Amino acid sequence: MQLPLYQIDAFTDRLFAGNPACVMPLEHWLPDEVLLKIAQENAVAETAFFIPEGDDFALRWFTPEIEMDLCGHATLATAHVIHTILQHPGDVLRFHSRSGLLKVNVEGARYVLEFPARPPVPVELPESIRLALDRMPVAVLQSRDYVLVYASEEDIREIQIDRQVLDRINLDPGGVVITAPGSDCDFVSRFFTPQASIFEDPVTGSAHCSLIPYWSGQLGKKELLARQLSDRGGTLYCADQGTIVKIGGEAMTYFTGTCRVNL
């Protein structure tokens, strides 16, 4: 079986930046174990699989370890493949997923995700996370992910996290996001996933489902500019709309090819 395969750099306007995702169109779902093996072979943080459903699409995301409940950068990458490469008509794409109906609006070169808001609530810092940190946050919250708030962008850039310690906990499908006010943007972040093959995710759209409502409340702003401070880096254009958050970004095509799968 020969299947098309695309790799897209999401949340960036240049190659070799942002978060790489693989995207594979399907005519029907393959067995879950095959989807997982394809994701493992691709060896990027997420592989998105989609099939047409009338004018809409069904969408699933796999890491090399598990199926995810929500993924921002791979959704943006999928929208880029459908709209720009496959030239699907229209500027609104609708995806049915484990997190419900997701919309992506095409606005020029930017793809704007409409995702469910996941406001985090204050919690105690688990000892297993505290022991992995070289500096303590000023606030700790949680929704799907633990959100550790720091005082400055310098803290986010310079923090050292002991992976051996953090890998002792299992947060599937969540992770640990650290965040602070930005020096040239509204807020910055980094994202870490214990026990994952890719420990630090380059740009994490789904984490912004919690970061956007938090920083919107803290800063008194509905529209925010965010940067993720991984080595690759990424820029996200955000808006708080109550139960919905908007997460915008650009994308670049890295490769198009064919995958050969024997079933």
Query: Residue 147 carries which side chain, given as an amino acid letter?
Result: V
Q: Is 85 left (phi over 0), alpha (psi -120 to 50) or beta?
A: alpha
Residue pointed to by tokens 């972040």? 189
Query: Residue 115 carries which side chain, given as an amino acid letter?
Result: F
DSSP H/E element including 130: helix 127-130
Under 8 Å between Cβ of 225 and 235: yes
Structure tokens at 199: 């420990």
Structure tokens at 194: 């214990």
Comparing CA positions, the residue from 181, 179, 183 lying closest to residue 208 is 179
> Which residue of the set 33, 41, 46, 124 is catalytic?
46
191 DSSP β-pair partners? 177, 201
Is residue 46 among the annotated active site residues? Answer: yes
Q: E strands, 125-197, where?
A: 139-142, 146-149, 176-181, 187-192
Pairing mode of beta strands 223-228, 187-192: parallel
Residue pointed to by tokens 């949680």? 142
Cis omega (within 30 of 0) on the bond before 137? no
Which residue numbers are catalytic? Answer: 46
